[in-house]
């Protein structure tokens, strides 16, 4: 069945790689993720966001993920891969509870926008409930710039290393998402910015909580070849810039055990679909454009597992 993150993170910590956390909203994305992870023999965290629950229905996504466990076995000759179903950016206790009750194996309670003591209290409440069902919990300290669900922040509020030990101890979380300069979406830096994340803050955090699993959100790299294909086929993405893969590779080798990627997958699918629409305007069978989009997504995620996260071969 679906597994929680505990063993995944313990192995990733020891092996100096990171588990891919890929968002999905539909069958094609799920198939691409599972195919990519089976073919690279990687464990995987399937993430469901608030937007995904609204778009696709939480029940349907939960059973799609359950189906993915069987699907992975089928296409791997019976072996399968470790698959975790995780709530991404859980906004409150009730949402986390609803996912736990429905069979998610991991949840995030994102109290990062709350005052510190309220974040501790809300996170602690989710942990107490989740652990009764062996569901693991991700908390967050620090605020990423950009739009995180409905909350918009102008600037990064970097995680304060002085707070992490107290937070982890008092909440009992299994992993901690931090803000070190990554952000959600395709516009992480402006042209002329130094597109660097604060690996020095990460190192400082690691010193305070050695061996504790760290999570990086907003870790898309916005591959420029994909942006180019989109723009050459009628798209209008101006100055889309992501996190350099070299920086993510470095982070994967540290205590960062989970790296969240969604936007890059969106770009890969959009590039493939725009190309079909542009080159074959007579096509009107959704399989003829969703199929290539699925293949493009799979190839992208295979490459991430092998070249960036280092999770390939660790299923």
Which spans of this chain sit near ligand G3H (rule: CB under 6 A)? Answer: 23, 49-52, 88-89, 149, 184, 262
Q: How far is the CB of 282 from ligand 13P (least distance, A)?
A: 33
Annotated binding residue at 16?
A: no
Partner in contact with 51, chosen from ligand 13P, ligand G3H, Zn ion, none, beta carbon below 5 to 8 Å by kind:
ligand G3H
Closer to ligand G3H by Cβ: residue 31 or 220: 220
Of 22-30, 229-237, 253-261, 303-311, the segment contacting Zn ion by CB under 5 A is: 253-261
Q: How far is the CB of 264 from ligand 13P (least distance, A)?
A: 6
Annotated binding residue at 184?
A: yes
- Residue facing ligand G3H at closest CB distance: 51
- Residue facing Zn ion at closest CB distance: 217
- The answer to whether 274 contacts Zn ion (rule: CB under 5 A) is no
Q: How far is the CB of 169 from ligand G3H (least distance, A)?
A: 27
Closer to ligand 13P by Cβ: residue 80 or 227: 227
Closer to Zn ion by Cβ: residue 247 or 260: 260
Closer to ligand 13P by Cβ: residue 18 or 80: 18
Out of 88, 174, 262, 264, which one is annotated catalytic? 88
> Is 264 an active-site residue?
no
DSSP notation for the chain: ----SHHHHHHHHHHT--EEEEE--SHHHHHHHHHHHHHTT--EEEEE-HHHHHHH-HHHHHHHHHHHHHHHHHHTTT----EEEEEEEE-SHHHHHHHHHHT-SEEEE--TTS-HHHHHHHHHHHHHHHHHTT-EEEEEESB-SEEETTEEESS-BPPPHHHHHHHHHHH--SEEEE-SS--SSSB-S-TTS-----HHHHHHHHHHSTT--EEE-S-----HHHHHHHHHTT----S-B---HHHHHHHHTTTEEEEEE-HHHHHHHHHHHHHHHHH-TT---HHHHHHHHHHHHHHHHHHIIIIII--TT--
Q: How far is the CB of 192 from ligand G3H (least distance, A)?
A: 25
Binding residues, by number, are 89, 110, 140, 184, 217
Q: What residues are designated binding site for Zn(2+)?
A: 89, 110, 140, 184, 217
Active site residues: 88
List interacting residues with Zn ion (CB under 5 A): 217, 260
């Amino acid at each position: 069945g679906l597994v929680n993150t505990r063993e995944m993170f313990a192995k990733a910590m020891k092996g100096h790689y990171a588990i891919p956390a890929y968002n999905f909203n539909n069958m094609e994305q799920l198939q691409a993720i599972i195919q990519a992870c089976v073919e690279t023999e990687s464990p995987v965290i399937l993430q469901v966001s608030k937007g995904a629950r609204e778009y696709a229905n939480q029940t349907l996504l939960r059973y799609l993920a359950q189906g993915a466990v069987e699907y992975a076995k089928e296409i791997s000759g019976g072996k399968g891969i470790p698959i975790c179903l995780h709530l991404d950016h859980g906004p409150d206790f009730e949402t986390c509870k609803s996912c736990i009750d429905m069979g998610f194996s991991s949840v995030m309670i994102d109290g990062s926008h709350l005052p510190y003591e309220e974040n501790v209290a809300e996170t602690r409440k989710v942990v107490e409930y989740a652990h009764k069902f062996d569901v693991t919990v991700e908390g967050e300290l620090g605020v990423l710039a950009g739009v995180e669900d409905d909350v918009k922040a102008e600037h990064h509020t970097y995680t304060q290393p002085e707070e992490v030990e107290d937070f982890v101890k008092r909440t009992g979380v299994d992993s901690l998402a931090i803000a070190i300069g990554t952000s959600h979406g395709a516009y992480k830096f402006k042209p002329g910015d130094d597109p660097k994340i604060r690996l020095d803050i990460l190192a400082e955090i690691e010193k305070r909580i050695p061996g504790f699993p760290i999570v990086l959100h907003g870790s898309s790299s916005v591959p420029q070849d994909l942006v180019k294909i989109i723009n050459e086929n009628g798209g209008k993405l101006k100055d889309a810039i992501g996190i350099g893969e070299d920086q993510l590779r470095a982070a994967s080798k540290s205590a960062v055990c989970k790296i969240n990627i969604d936007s890059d997958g969106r770009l890969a699918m959009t590039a493939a679909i725009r190309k079909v629409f542009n080159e074959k305007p007579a096509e009107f069978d959704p399989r003829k454009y969703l199929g290539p989009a699925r293949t493009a997504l799979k190839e992208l995620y295979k490459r991430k597992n092998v070249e960036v996260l280092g999770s390939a071969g660790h299923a």
